[in-house]
Amino acid sequence: MRRPAQLPSTPERPEKEPAQVRPRAPRRGEEEPSEGPAADLGEPIVEQSEPTADAAELTSSMDVWRAARARRKALRAEIRRFTQRSRRRKIVWLSAIGAIVLLIGGSIAAAYSPLFAVEKISVAGATNLDPAVIEAALSDQLGTPLALVDTSEVKAALLAFPLIETYALEARPPHDLTVRIVERTPVGVIASEAGFTLVDAAGVALSTTEDAPAGQPVIDVDGGVDTPAFRSAGLVVRSLPTEVRSVLSGVSATTADDVTLTLDNGLVVVWGSADESALKAVTLSKMMAANPDARSIDVTSPDVAVVG
């Protein structure tokens, strides 16, 4: 009998070794497992593979970039914090300067506009002159903005009044223009073929009339108004006290050192030069009070007056 053919036996596969299980580390509050079979029953610990070199390099670059970015951000914050006060101060200064520029610009624009045009001209300081006549002479300035008043035209108009010695213009917004004048002080009249010319101490002719004006002495000086004798006589007249000036009728001089005065009552006062005129005036007043019947008083030397 034939035996049935036997299939070749398959080799037995080696059994896999059981995975090694590491004991679990005890948690906080747990007792450490004792050695023995029970200790081998811990949770299996799966060992993780270490990251590759490329992954580690990428992670390191990202960390460096983040750190640099954080440093830049912190630096910008610090700079912003330290410069905040400077920026605030700059804004305040720029705002103030802008406001001032606007104010000045607005003021200038308004000053040169018709809103500040001259509507009224007034004259102050006039005694012998008629203010209305002066105001009429300056009427051309009406309607002109205060800032554009032509001083040369004002000067030309005031030259027609020789009695004006100095003047000043005062703008009083919005519409008033004031002219302050100082009149010349007449010292007497000079007789000529044209009549009697009223002059001041500088020899400026103020007016000419046919008759001698009341209250003004007649000045008789060799050489006219352009001589030292006339200048000395003018200074003497201006230094006289009111009570003497009101009764003065004549002034004569041939040189600057021999000025002589004549009063209404015929009293002759030998004054001499214009030096020490204030002291001479005090001495003359005392001598006139003490000697009402005197015909002459010499105050050439004010400390030793001579009464005749």
List pLDDT tens digits, range 259-277.
Answer: 999 999 999 999 999 999 9
In 3D space, the residue among 293, 229, 285, 279 whose CA is nearest the CA of residue 301 turns out to be: 279
Give the tens place of pLDDT for each residue, 25-48.
555 554 445 444 444 444 444 455
- Alpha carbons within 13 A on the beta-carbon side of 202: 9
* Average pLDDT over all residues of the chain: 81
In 3-state terms, what secondary structure has residue 29? coil
CATH of 114-183, one of 3.10.20.310, 3.30.1380.20, 1.20.140.10, 3.40.630.30: 3.10.20.310
Tokens matching residue 23:
């004991």
CA 263 – CA 249 distance, rounded (Å)? 5
Quick one: pLDDT band at residue 56, thresholds 50, 70, 90?
low
Is pTM beyond 0.75? Reply is: no
Tokens matching residue 127:
């005694």
Residue 229: pLDDT over 70: yes
Residue 60 has a pLDDT of 75
Q: Taking residues 172-187, what's their average pLDDT? A: 92
Residue 130 has a pLDDT of 92
Residue 2 has a pLDDT of 47
Quick one: pLDDT band at residue 121, thresholds 50, 70, 90?
very high
Give yes or no on whether 114-183 and 186-307 have one common fold: no
Residue 99 has a pLDDT of 82
DSSP lists the bridge partners of residue 208 as 197
What DSSP assignment string belongs to 120-144? EEEEES-SSS-HHHHHHHTGGGTTS
Quick one: pLDDT band at residue 154, thresholds 50, 70, 90?
very high
Sign of CA dihedral 277, 282, 287, 289: positive
Sheet holding 218-221, edge to edge: 205-209, 195-200, 186-192, 218-221, 248-253, 259-263, 268-272, 296-298, 306-307
Residue 51 has a pLDDT of 53
- CATH architecture of the region 186-307: 3-Layer(aba) Sandwich (3.40)
CA 137 – CA 157 distance, rounded (Å)? 6
Residue 138 has a pLDDT of 94
Q: Are 262 and 235 in contact (CB under 8 A)?
A: no
Tokens matching residue 11:
């080799």
Domain boundaries, the chain: 68-110, 114-183, 186-307
More confidently predicted of 108 and 116: 116
CA 295 – CA 255 distance, rounded (Å)? 23
Residue 11 has a pLDDT of 45
Residue 24 has a pLDDT of 54
Tokens matching residue 304:
């030793």
